Amino acid sequence: MLFFLCMLSCATFASAQITLGSASTFGVLSQTSVTNTGPTGIDGDLGTGGTSITGFPPGTFTGNEFIGNQADNPLRDAQAAYNDLAALGGATVLTGGLGGLVLAPGTYSFSTSAAITGTLTLAGTGSSTDAWYFQIGTSLITSAGSSVLITGGGLACSVFWQVGTSATLGAGSSFSGNILAGASVTLNTAAVSNGGVFALGATVTMDTNVVNLQTCPVASSSSTPGGSPTPSVSTSSSASISVTTTSSSLSSSASLSITSR
């Protein structure tokens, strides 16, 4: 049974389009360095504005490698996306944990840190404009085995997490959306990210992970009458953990699975 935490008018849907520009081809991109342990698999480009990318091999990536000034433009575009996310208005203000919530498309903000324990469900409406934008003042931490589940035809490419400082994905967790962290990003053992990982101030640290690049289909020129839906927030007793992604998946030695469609 769903328990509604706010009325349908509790927030304004964010109609802004966030784009990553030249950073959109990257699975992992950092300002200073990338460090990996174990057979991590990255779908997409791998890059750093620094001079150090270590742990590849045994890690693998399907795209190109960018080091030093080769990464200047992608880092600039990722920073621009970060700034655009931070500037979005009309957000629903949340506090505490995200685990157990069911969130409709919209913009959500935390003044300080945010945490995910259990399952966060992002409930799409079936519209091609469905998008979720998260503004987090300081850190984002997901617990071991947690998941971000997208339903209703929503796409991970339309989920963006703007994190003020650092993001940490717990061991064995399944995450959806692009992470743009002001400092560092850490993926603990066997964590899966269905979305790009961007550390705009420091390093990306990985350990036997899977990172799946997410690319949205080209939007139709036709529009749906009636305007955009307004987000709602509710809790769910569902404890299922699954991930649906729109890109080809890379498997690691971890006992996790990705379903492509």
Q: What's residue 16's pLDDT? A: 60
Query: Is the distance from CB of 75 to CB of 29 less than 8 angstroms?
Result: yes
Q: Which helix (H) or strand (E) holds 143?
A: none
pTM of the model: 0.81
| 52-80 confidence digits (pLDDT tens) | 999 999 999 999 999 999 999 999 999 99
| 194-244 confidence digits (pLDDT tens) | 999 999 999 999 999 999 999 988 755 443 433 344 444 444 333 333 333
Taking the alpha carbons at both ends of the chain, their separation in whole angstroms is: 28
Q: What's residue 217's pLDDT? A: 83
Q: What's residue 261's pLDDT? A: 34
Distance CA 81, CA 180 (A): 8
> What's the mean pLDDT when you consider all of the chain?
85
Please tell me whether residue 43 adopts helix, strand or coil conformation: coil
| 15-31 confidence digits (pLDDT tens) | 468 999 999 999 999 99
Q: Is the pLDDT of residue 257 over 60?
A: no
Tell me the residue ranges of DSSP E strands in 125-219.
Answer: 132-136, 140-142, 147-151, 159-163, 167-169, 174-176, 178-181, 185-187, 192-194, 197-199, 203-207, 210-212
| Cis geometry, peptide bond prior to residue 217 (ω within 30 degrees of 0) | no
Q: What's residue 254's pLDDT? A: 38
Q: Is the dihedral of CA 213, 117, 89, 233 positive or negative?
A: positive
Please spell the DSSP secondary structure of 203-248, one letter per residue. EEEEES-EEE---PPPPPS---TT-PPPP-EEE--------EESS-
Please tell me whether residue 56 adopts helix, strand or coil conformation: coil
Please tell me whether residue 129 adopts helix, strand or coil conformation: coil
**Cα atoms found within 13 Å of the Cα of residue 191, Cβ hemisphere only:** 28
Among 4-8, 205-209, 245-249, top mean pLDDT goes to: 205-209
| 108-145 confidence digits (pLDDT tens) | 999 999 999 999 999 999 999 999 999 999 999 999 99
Q: What's residue 219's pLDDT? A: 56
More confident residue, 84 or 259: 84
Query: Is the distance from CB of 91 to CB of 135 less than 8 angstroms?
Result: yes
Q: Which residue has tokens 């390093």?
A: 203
Kindly report the number of other CB atoms within 10 A of residue 30's CB atom.
30
| 135-177 confidence digits (pLDDT tens) | 999 999 999 999 999 999 999 999 999 999 999 999 999 999 9
Q: Is the pLDDT of residue 33 over 50?
A: yes
